[in-house]
Amino acid sequence: MIEDCANGRTIAFDDPICEYRNGIKQIGASLYCNNPVDLLVIMLGINDVRYVYNARPPFIARALQSLAEKAFTVGTPGMRVLIVTPPTLRACALEGPLSYYYDEDSVRSCEGLAPCYEAT
Round to whole Å and give the CA distance between 57 and 86.
12
Instruction: Categorize the per-residue pLDDT at 60 as very low, low, confident or very high, splitting at 50, 70 and 90.
Output: very high
Give me the residue spans of the domains in the chain. Answer: 23-119
pLDDT of residue 23: 95
Claim: this prediction has a pTM higher than 0.85: yes
- The stretch 47-69 carries a mean pLDDT of 95
Round to whole Å and give the CA distance between 13 and 33.
22
Exposed e or buried b for every residue in 70-106, given b needs 16+ CB within 10 A?
Answer: bbeebbbeebeeeeeebeebeeebbeeebeebbbeeb
Q: What is the mean pLDDT of the chain?
A: 91
Round to whole Å and give the CA distance between 43 and 107.
19
Q: Between these two residues, 8 and 23, which has the higher pLDDT value?
A: 23
Percent of the chain with pLDDT strictly greater than 90:
67
Task: Please give the CATH superfamily to which domain 23-119 belongs.
Answer: SGNH hydrolase (3.40.50.1110)
